[in-house]
Structure 1
């Protein structure tokens, strides 16, 4: 048996309204319709751009190499870019170059070597910190025990920076110069730094606001009421052993496979 008009209405109750809407559209001036569509498109695009800019989202594509003077940052910078050995000297300005990660995505980051001198590091960090996707903090494993306080103070400055804490770039602590017999292991360096950072936090806590845990652009390190551990930080942290020099001779290949694998995950 054939369907009646009442049956069709029951099956699709919106049919009359859709038909009326179609008729109205057909009766409208095509130029007017195009104008309406364009206006709607402009509104949508404007909303998208406003959302993008108002949320302050930026593309962070820099990998910063930081650390104390003579930690091996510049040689590590050269090794990552070219694989070659080159004699270096203390940097007084930044150096940058594109670095292609060893992954299937073909990711390319801007590798930036920042000066390690205590009179320069703050101003260069201020210049580049907002663009940091990752920070490679280079430690001289061979003389770490002598420099542990200085290393911890520099790291404390980094980790309590409000911009770095908010953006949470990956932190790769590169325990360099593992080719030297007296070099400390990555595990020991991590443990010693956690103790030293915990002490620094206690001695500097008086400068922090009691209300929100921040003052002067700084944030509280770790979790209140607990001894500091790197696992408490908002960013991914890895301690890696490496050797930019690589071996006994200058022609030896660098031992930086672990660092390169971590950079490939960014």
Structure 2
């Protein structure tokens, strides 16, 4: 095997072994020079330098973790019981058109442009309303929620008040939703029907039902292990529950996705659209 040769600055010829030795000697000289400079420095300066480097390192690690774990909350979730009108409302918000719907067994999503000067765009997601499907889809999308539109069938609310309250209780005591604090818009749908309950009455009855649920759920948890744990406590202790006690913004509003008995008629969703425009 041929020996590699190198031409030094003075014009002499070196083989690869001599070149390696020279490089090693140069590196050792450099290390010795750095060591001597550090020894001549003030100890206070050296301590400050170490601390500064540590702060920079910790900051870099924190920023990497924070940026990688941060979830952009740009979704508006449509939730509620089966046949409350979520899917038709979904269609009306997106296109304004009437569309015949059936019970959803999976999620539907599409970009929704809010009617405001900022031109805000959210991802509108219609979640299935069946009680066997709700938990898994809520778990999938809740961390991205900027707002939750809870759709209520105002026409048969009296029959469903218990089920509506139980579902809402799950939302309001969820730790992730409580931490992210998305706006909660309770859309009292089907106001075009004569027997529909008003938003004010629905709010009052839900407060009473949630207050009862809070008592029974707390008692059930206490009987299991002697202490209340798990989900968050709803409202303020020692006071009857009211939505005003919550750390999140809650708004009750009336709407009608159908709008009228004529399928080609316009929907009555202006109040909901204005609320979405404020997000």
TM-score, structure 2 normalization:
0.75
- CA deviations on 1:121-157 (whole Å, 9 max, x unpaired) are 0110010000000000000000000100000011011
> Which deviates further from its counterpart, 109-118 or 50-59?
50-59
Look up the match of 2:46. none
How far, CA to CA, are the matches of 2:120 and 2:66 in structure 1?
27
Structure-2 residue corresponding to 1:122: 135
Deviating above 2 A after TM superposition, structure 1's stretches of 4 or more consecutive aligned residues are 43-58, 206-210, 213-216
Q: CA separation in 2, counterparts of 1:252 and 1:180?
A: 14
Q: Residue 257 of structure 1: which of 260, 270, 277 is its match?
A: 270
* Match of residue 53, structure 1, among 65, 74, 93: 65
Report the secondary structure of 2:237's partner residue: coil
Query: For the residues of structure 1 that align with 2:260 and 2:153, how far apart are their CA atoms?
Result: 15
Superposition pairs of residues 125-144 of structure 1, within 5 angstroms: 125-144=138-157
Find the aligned partners of 1:208 and 1:257 in 2 and give their Cα distance: 42
Match of 1:215 in 2: 229
Query: Deviation per CA, 1:56-113, whole angstroms, max 9, x where unpaired?
Result: 5422001000000000000000000000000000000000000000011111000000
TM-score normalized with structure 1 length: 0.79
CA distance in 1, matches of 2:170, 2:228: 13
2:25 maps to what in 1? none
Larger radius of gyration: 2
Q: 1:77 to 1:47 in 2, by over 3 A?
A: same
Is the aligned partner of 1:85 residue 2:92? no
Query: Any gaps of 5 or more consecutive residues in structure 2?
Result: 1-51
> Within 5 A, what are the aligned runs for 1:141-220?
141-208=154-221, 215-216=229-230, 218-220=231-233
Partners of 1:74 and 1:242 in 2: how far apart?
A: 14
CA distance in structure 2 between the aligned counterparts of 1:240 and 1:193, rounded to whole angstroms: 14
8 Å CA contact 2:115–2:274 kept in 1: the answer is yes
**Superposition RMSD on alpha carbons, in Å?**
2.1
- For these two proteins, the number of residue pairs brought into alignment is 222
Secondary structure of the residue that 1:142 maps to in structure 2?
Answer: coil
Whole-angstrom CA distance in 1 between matches of 2:58 and 2:120: 30
CA-CA distance at 1:207 after TM superposition: 4.4
